[in-house]
Structure 1
Amino acid sequence: MRRLYGYVACLAVTLGAFLVNAPAASATGVVSNGIAWTDDLNPVPHPPGIIEFCTMGVVGTDSLGNKIGISAAHCVDGTPDGAPVYRYAPTGPREHIGSIAYRSPGGGTGVDWVVLYLNADAVLTSNGPSARVDGIGAPNPAGPHCKDGAGTGVHCGSITAQNTTRFYSNAQSGGGDSGGPVLQNNTEIVGMVRGFDPALFAFEYIKFAAVLDGINAQPNPVGKGFVVTNN
């Protein structure tokens, strides 16, 4: 089992070990922000309190026309780039939706983002299970916002502090929410769920502007020029 890093462990969001089983041959179907995803083809036993899924932050296309999903890198700590990812379901085998393209330097201990290369037949939509994401908001957000997560749903709050790659808030998050979108102006993504910082006694979020800066700085062209799906 991969290591859970520091206060991210409080979210208890660990995706299981990479399984080499071939993905299902069925069509991918709809992929959106807010869905639960995992790198486990089949359910894997975990200690109590450990949740085996994360939340898709946003979907869109890159400058090459690839279909892309973005979420939190600590969701795949211990799983190699190129490994398949699946739509989460309580039982398996689960539906293959794409693969891990690459992640932020340092993985879950870095800025903490992962680029998912979605299947070519994936149908992307702005409308997630609980929220709509159709644009990108302020690079340094302030004030009220709402987060959405597959674990605990929608919670709103206000930003209490921030730095170059993070902001902190009283908007609650919990297990399974990691990677989920944080929104302002109703539908604009400004961040993604990361965890809880006990030193600040605040919930921690990854600035989406820092995510895009990191993606565009990578040599891999996949993900560069990311445009949020708006349909």
Structure 2
Amino acid sequence: MFKRLCTLLLSLALLCTVGAGAAHAQPGKRVFNAMQIIFSPSLPDLFCTLGAVGGDKYGHKIAITAGHCLDDPKYADHEIHDDIAPVYDRADAGFGPIGYVRYFKDPEGSQTGHVTKDYMVIELVPQVTPSAQGPYLKQTGEVKVPGGTVSPNALTPALDNERLLATGSNEIITSGQTGVWYGTVMDNADGVYRSPAANMRGDSGGPAIWHVPGTDLPSQANNFQASGPWAGITKGITLALPPFLYTSSANILADLRARDTATAGGVFGAGFEVTTNP
């Protein structure tokens, strides 16, 4: 079972990053799925992982990860417009912030239960370049399921990218600390997928793609590379079998659209699309 990485998000971020955010970021740095991220350079072992990188309908560069990576009831489920919660590349904290948290949602029990809205929106800084290519997975847009079961977070009528993969007949491919894994979607409880595709602590928020039928699965022959549309992000581990949970991209995209519709001026991440940059 994962532990939450930070309590009191903003007090911790401010205390731990005084001076650290003064680094002057140089242009051109790639930000990609499966990049490990931290919220303070002084806490490199408390990390999560990026699940998808792209842009929103308002022109912001956006990355998506798990909401339970941070925990502060005062700021959870609210837009954060100020740059008070920086995010760093764990492998290159000296670059300075790659972005700032704009929203996170972490209801109690989100890591082990079927909570549908466990996600975080990060606005990336102008100096970085979003990339669709991670260490193992290349993301090709978003999963779209015409006529499929609708996410519980969706408005009516739902969009195709707000519909869920059917269980028993679809596989997801994931990427994390132990490499790349794949497994069948065995259960779907309100848009939270259960699969034998493995993850571990620190992989929270990391990428899952849909294995498009007829395309190659990762193997030694192809250097464990795979490509497909973004299907979701790593959520956590439970005692049930198979134990690994993933929040569907359908849940995230549907909730972003619903919040955008209800919020004057809109929200960061609304209309999110995975980048086409290599």
User: What's the TM-score, normalizing by structure 2?
Assistant: 0.70
For 1:70, what is the secondary structure of its paired residue? Answer: strand
Distance 1:159 1:92 in 2: 35
Residue of structure 2 equivalent to 1:140:
164
Paired residues, what number?
214
2:236 to 195, 216, 228: 195
Work out whether residues 26 and 95 of structure 2, in 8 Å CA contact, stay in contact via their aligned partners in 1: no
Work out whether residues 43 and 92 of structure 1, in 8 Å CA contact, stay in contact via their aligned partners in 2: no
Q: Which amino acid aligns with 2:68?
A: H
1:14 to 5, 19, 36: 5
Deviations 1:5-33 (A, max 9, x none): xxxxx134625832242412122511111
Residue of structure 1 equivalent to 2:218:
none
Work out whether residues 15 and 53 of structure 1, in 8 Å CA contact, stay in contact via their aligned partners in 2: no
2:50 to 40, 45, 56: 56
Q: How far did residue 145 of structure 1 move?
A: 1.7
Distance 2:258 2:197 in 1: 30
Taking the TM superposition and a 5 Å limit, the aligned residue runs for 1:99-138 are: 99-104=100-105, 106=107, 109=110, 110=115, 111-137=117-143, 138=145
Task: Structure 1 unaligned segments of length 5 or more: list them.
Answer: 1-9, 45-50
Q: Is 1:224 matched with 2:270?
A: yes
Distance 1:31 1:107 in 2: 30
For 2:250, what is the secondary structure of its paired residue? Answer: helix
Q: Which amino acid aligns with 1:114?
A: M
Work out whether residues 67 and 106 of structure 2, in 8 Å CA contact, stay in contact via their aligned partners in 1: no
Work out whether residues 41 and 86 of structure 1, in 8 Å CA contact, stay in contact via their aligned partners in 2: yes
Q: Which has the larger radius of gyration?
A: 2
Task: Structure 2 unaligned segments of length 5 or more: list them.
Answer: 146-162, 213-226
Q: How far did residue 174 of structure 1 move?
A: 0.7
User: What's the TM-score, normalizing by structure 1?
Assistant: 0.83
Distance 1:68 1:15 in 2: 21
Distance 1:12 1:147 in 2: 20
| Structure with the largest fraction of helix | 2
Residue of structure 2 equivalent to 1:26:
25
Distance 1:208 1:61 in 2: 15
| Structure with the largest fraction of strand | 1
Please give the root-mean-square deviation of Cα atoms over the aligned residues, in Å: 2.3
For 2:256, what is the secondary structure of its paired residue? Answer: helix
For 1:96, what is the secondary structure of its paired residue? Answer: coil
Deviates more, 1:135-144 or 1:72-81: 72-81
Q: How far did residue 95 of structure 1 move?
A: 2.9
Q: How far did residue 108 of structure 1 move?
A: 7.0
For 1:156, what is the secondary structure of its paired residue? Answer: strand
Taking the TM superposition and a 5 Å limit, the aligned residue runs for 1:137-216 are: 137=143, 138=145, 139-142=163-166, 143-149=170-176, 151-184=177-210, 185=212, 186-216=227-257
Work out whether residues 208 and 232 of structure 2, in 8 Å CA contact, stay in contact via their aligned partners in 1: yes
Identical pairs, percent = 29
Distance 1:92 1:121 in 2: 15
For 1:187, what is the secondary structure of its paired residue? Answer: strand
Tell me: CA distance 1:87–1:107, structure 2 relative to 1, closer, same or farther (3 Å): farther
For 1:134, what is the secondary structure of its paired residue? Answer: strand
